[in-house]
Chains A and B, each alone.
Chain A
């Protein structure tokens, strides 16, 4: 029997969404711009069966891939569970067989040695294939038209790491993908394998190195010359796993390390810079300027995730779990192993930020991300009291001037990750649309908002209305018509 009644955080809008869905010719308020053709693919998930442990991480939810398919002004929506071996095993048993996040020692013995991934983090279109990604396993290939799961993909056997990041970088100049896996040779190993994969999906380069300590290497930075590898405060050990704990704990005394490796270099060429306690979970963009490598990212002072608790038993600190857009500068011409840090905006933001991907690895000006503006209205009578815990705006942050332009989603809404769609036939940075899904707590439904990225204050260009709550997203990506073999 499936019973979520004793899950206090899974009620109302946050109750599990357990269905698969097809909606044809979605309701649209406004008019879909004719130059938006392709798909906005979202990946996230939900518990199909309740977790075995109440303090498990939400990163352990079953993967669910969904797609807003845009074609000639018409939008269809489709959602499917990612049919991983784990999902299928649970379905066959009619219960949750898997234990804590990335701790196989807490699993039911019947699923020993089965791939534990829920493949729930980032969708990727590359070399004509659609994938779902999670950093604990290989990519899972998905049929881009049916969203049915095909299976794991190892790039014709040439990708040797056992894991694949949720944040590969595609170089807009060469079309190559730079990707990696950490804990690459197995659970609790300090190996990182870094790959270059060409436009045809063939592995052309592999570099192996070790990290200063085993940590969550969730995202990296790519410049035209270097790869930047942030390592920070999340620690793990086989002892933790034997104690039945979740994979990561937070060590406030662990220094942050940032590795800088030349794209044409070898493992021995990596240089580690060292800094204070920080969490750089996601990056915005990076670039090389002479001997300086510059990273810009929404960076937390400390642990952003209470479900990966401090290892010293101290309480999780929400004040330090706020991300600010910062710039880190690494001077390759200096012998100093430190680096500088600047806070570029004084307001805290969602760390799920994006740039115009045509400018990834290059000099750029604009970053987009969600944030909560407490001065905007929130209708508690219709939406329910969330005590200000909403991201009600998307901001365009101008890194050249320090100015911010803002889109407001509505007084009963909270926004998920923003995504940028470049305008067809324009090469100007930031010319295009921002899209993202808003949760409408008053109407108990999800809405896809589309706004002109250069005129955010003007509000919606169009809004796609779903008559239900779409399964929550972690990351979403825009996939143009020519990137995948769409029907």
Chain B
């Protein structure tokens, strides 16, 4: 995974937290669902409708073999387990399962498409951008 992305991700997360705190929204920030809670809720809902297997791929147990996945986990089990999520086609692995879900920054990040272009590739197409 790209270090820049991780760093950006963290900064963005901190920014959102700071924004929530500064605007008197600390209660909201505190009550945000964790990945673990989210998965537990998801698993419970899935169990109800009998289609747990479709969510199995979204969770990787830190203790059980991947094949056992979330579907075999007791919904009352509060031990953390890892979660893979995706943002803008990049995988994000939270091994603690306790982090607050990632919120993308409010900007469109529309220049990101050029981030990996070399100077020659960038200038070759956007010399007066």
User: Chain B: how many interface residues by the 8 Å CB criterion?
Assistant: 28
Give B contacts to A, CB under 8 Å. 4, 8, 11-12, 15, 105-115, 117, 119-129
Q: Mark A427-456, 1 if CB is under 8 A from B, else 0.
A: 000000000000101111000000000000
Contact of A12 among B11, B105, B113, B127 (CB under 8 A): B113
Tell which of A214-222, A229-237, A384-392 binds the partner.
A384-392
How far does the Cβ of A53 sit from chain B's closest Cβ, in whole Å? 12
Contact between chains at B125 and A14 (CB < 8 Å): yes
Does A227 count as interface, using CB distance less than 8 angstroms? no
User: Chain A: how many interface residues by the 8 Å CB criterion?
Assistant: 42
19 additional contacts (CB under 8 A) given A12-B111, A444-B110: A8-B117, A11-B114, A12-B109, A12-B112, A13-B111, A15-B113, A306-B124, A316-B120, A318-B120, A350-B128, A382-B105, A382-B106, A384-B113, A384-B115, A385-B112, A414-B129, A442-B110, A444-B108, A474-B128
A10 to B106, CA, bound (A): 22
Contact between chains at A9 and B122 (CB < 8 Å): yes
Q: Which residues of B contact A58 (CB under 8 A)?
A: 124-127
A13 to B125, CA, bound (A): 13
Report the number of A-B residue pairs with Cβ-Cβ less than 8 Å: 114
Contact between chains at A417 and B128 (CB < 8 Å): yes
Contact between chains at B106 and A384 (CB < 8 Å): no
Q: Which residues of B contact A15 (CB under 8 A)?
A: 113
Q: Which residues of A contact B107 (CB under 8 A)?
A: 379, 381-384, 412, 441-443
Q: Which residues of A contact B11 (CB under 8 A)?
A: 381
Contact between chains at A13 and B113 (CB < 8 Å): yes
Q: Which residues of B contact A383 (CB under 8 A)?
A: 107-111
Q: Which residues of A contact B105 (CB under 8 A)?
A: 381-382
Q: Which residues of A contact B119 (CB under 8 A)?
A: 318
Q: Which residues of B contact A380 (CB under 8 A)?
A: 8
A234 to B79, CA, bound (A): 68
Contact between chains at B113 and A416 (CB < 8 Å): no
Contact between chains at A389 and B128 (CB < 8 Å): no
How far does the Cβ of A59 sit from chain B's closest Cβ, in whole Å? 9
How far does the Cβ of B106 sit from chain A's closest Cβ, in whole Å? 6
A359 to B49, CA, bound (A): 78
Does A345 count as interface, using CB distance less than 8 angstroms? no
Q: Which residues of B contact A416 (CB under 8 A)?
A: 128-129
Q: Which residues of A contact B110 (CB under 8 A)?
A: 12-13, 383-384, 441-442, 444
